[in-house]
Amino acid sequence: MFIAARFIAGWGSWGFLAVTELSPPGLRGFFVGMNGVNIALGYALASYMGMAFFFADNDTAKWRGPLGIALLWPIMMIGIVFIVPESPRYLLMQGEVEKAREIVYRLHTVKGDPDQEFARSEFYQMQKQTEFDKTLDPGWVAMFTKKGYRRRTALAMGFAFVGQSTGVLVVNNYGPTLYATLGYDTKQQLEFQCGWITVGIVFNAVGAALMDRVGRKPLLLFGVMGCGICLAIEAAIVAQYAAAGTNKAALAAGVAMFYLFLAVYSVGVDVAGVVFYSELFPNHIRAKGVCLSMATIALTDLVYLQATTTAFANIGWRFYLIFIIICTLGSTFFFFVLPETKGIPLEEMAKIFGDTEDIVVFSSDVHVDHNTHELVVGSKNGLEHVATHQGMTPEIEKAIHEHKEMATNA
């Protein structure tokens, strides 16, 4: 049943994709990054319950209790799904123009702007781009044969592999075993595990807050390089002091390195990764791109987690060298090839991959003429024309009329 539940849970592993398609470009990193905060919170609650039920007198309660509490969250998700808005880009791909417009205008209305220039311009760009995207090949083969798509796929899957090659799930899943190696008892192991996962909540939030300021690339590189450095120090501590177990300060430093490792991972790889994977791809293959990224993460974790027990039993601390080497090589490689996606509308992401011919409208070319209140679109030759889709609604017309009356009375 655990395997069946895991199989079903995997269907929702791409949930952050919907947030990506609902968010405005300037705040996309923050909103999508908050998914990382909630994922870390979920891990933390599981750790807290494991710690709490460790002290239960009834052996059956020790495992039934955490499993029973875990049922609350799917029930909550079922309730929430009825109020979460659908992606406007998905609706446009399905021809549901009015529903898509209503969602964009409701979420991206700017207070004090009767013309709603941002929402109208953004929706116009979405609408024109999806009209074009619906004519393109949405198949899996195109993701590996078209140059621009192939590069995006390689970047997403490549970083997904390197991100999990930091060994984060090895530390997470085998945390108590690793703390035991440092000489701590069962109660201390559970306490450290709870503290460790709590670090993830805090620093995922830090990463989400920084994302739209410093960009994705600096955080991603910082995360991978920082994890490699932390594991190098951890490996040295275990190699030098774990066997004797007499240097308590060094053993405590080993615990601190695990905590620092997660802080760095959370700020960089964890929170920035989900943003990066979901931004790279165009509308018609975005879900497939995220699918490949999540599959890469799952497969990478599967290999490492299956090998961990045997590896630690036979080569001990040297197992860390695999992660250290991949982090070093990966951060060096991605320093040269990772693009920066901060603040770029999803419809314009193609320009950083050389596919400018696939972009129908640039956001910088769309604006509202505040004299006529019409949406105007520029062109490459410098000429402007009235947009074919004005996006005017009775609510906007009413707001413009009221604004004119206020200006006249003033």
Kind of pairing between the strands at 374-378 and 384-386: antiparallel
**Domain's final residue, options 320, 348, 376:** 348
**Domain's final residue, options 325, 348, 371:** 348
Quick one: 304 and 340 in the same domain?
A: yes
pLDDT at 381: 62
Phi and psi based region of residue 131 (left: phi greater than 0; alpha: psi -120 to 50; beta: remaining): alpha
Quick one: 123 and 253 in the same domain?
A: no
The answer to whether position 146 is within a domain reads yes
CATH classification of the domain holding 212: 1.20.1250.20
Q: Confidence class of residue 333 from pLDDT cuts 50, 70 and 90?
A: very high
Per residue in 173-192, pLDDT (tens digit) is: 898 889 988 889 888 888 89
**Total structural domains in the chain?**
2
Quick one: 280 and 373 in the same domain?
A: no
pLDDT at 410: 64
Quick one: 323 and 386 in the same domain?
A: no
- Look up the domain containing 392 and give its range: 88-135+362-409
Of 117, 113, 103, 123, the C-alpha closest to 402 is: 113
- Region 107-123: what's the mean pLDDT? 92
Residue 160 has pLDDT above 80, yes or no: yes
The answer to whether position 249 is within a domain reads yes
Least confident of 4-8, 207-211, 355-359: 4-8
pLDDT at 331: 96
The answer to whether position 16 is within a domain reads no
Q: Which residue has the higher pLDDT, 82 or 162?
A: 162
**How much is the pTM?**
0.91
Quick one: 335 and 375 in the same domain?
A: no
As a whole number of angstroms, the distance between CA 228 and CA 279 comes to 26
Quick one: 113 and 152 in the same domain?
A: no
Quick one: 128 and 243 in the same domain?
A: no
- Region 128-138: what's the mean pLDDT? 93
Residue with tokens 């490699």: 228
Q: Residues 361, 124: contact at Cβ < 8 Å?
A: yes
Q: Confidence class of residue 409 from pLDDT cuts 50, 70 and 90?
A: confident
> What percent of the chain shows pLDDT beyond 90?
62
- Region 129-154: what's the mean pLDDT? 93
pLDDT at 93: 94
- Does the CA dihedral 166-172-178-182 come out positive or negative? positive
- Region 154-170: what's the mean pLDDT? 96
Residue 319 has pLDDT above 70, yes or no: yes
Quick one: 246 and 370 in the same domain?
A: no
- Token pair, residue 10, equals 């995997």
The answer to whether position 261 is within a domain reads yes
Residue with tokens 């293959």: 285
Residue 216 has pLDDT above 90, yes or no: yes
Angle of the 216-237 helix axis to the 271-279 helix axis, nearest 10:
140
Residue 9 has pLDDT above 80, yes or no: no
Q: Which residue has the higher pLDDT, 156 or 56?
A: 156
The answer to whether position 12 is within a domain reads no
pLDDT at 107: 94
Q: Which residue has the higher pLDDT, 54 or 156?
A: 156
- Averaged pLDDT score across all residues of the chain: 90
Q: Confidence class of residue 55 from pLDDT cuts 50, 70 and 90?
A: confident
Quick one: 285 and 166 in the same domain?
A: yes
**Domain's final residue, options 321, 348, 375:** 348
Q: Residues 360, 119: contact at Cβ < 8 Å?
A: no
Show Cβ contacts of residue 255 under 8 Å, excluding neighbours closer than 6 positions.
179, 182, 184, 192
CA distances from 75 to 44, 178, 392 (A): 19, 34, 39
Neighbours of 107 (CB within 10 A): 13
Radius of gyration of the chain (CA): 25
- Region 118-132: what's the mean pLDDT? 95
The answer to whether position 323 is within a domain reads yes
The answer to whether position 186 is within a domain reads yes
Q: How far apart are the first and last CA of the chain?
A: 70
Per residue in 361-396, pLDDT (tens digit) is: 999 999 898 888 889 998 666 677 788 777 888 888
The answer to whether position 45 is within a domain reads no
As a whole number of angstroms, the distance between CA 183 and CA 160 comes to 33
Quick one: 380 and 258 in the same domain?
A: no
Q: Is 401 exposed, middle or buried (0-12, 13-18, 19+ CB in 10 A)?
A: exposed
Of 213, 116, 228, the C-alpha closest to 168 is: 228
pLDDT at 403: 73
Edge to edge, what strands does the sheet with 366-369 contain? 366-369, 374-378, 384-386
Q: Residues 393, 105: contact at Cβ < 8 Å?
A: yes
Quick one: 301 and 178 in the same domain?
A: yes
Per residue in 253-287, pLDDT (tens digit) is: 999 999 999 999 999 999 999 999 999 999 999 99
Neighbours of 166 (CB within 10 A): 29
Per residue in 80-92, pLDDT (tens digit) is: 888 889 999 999 9
Quick one: 261 and 377 in the same domain?
A: no
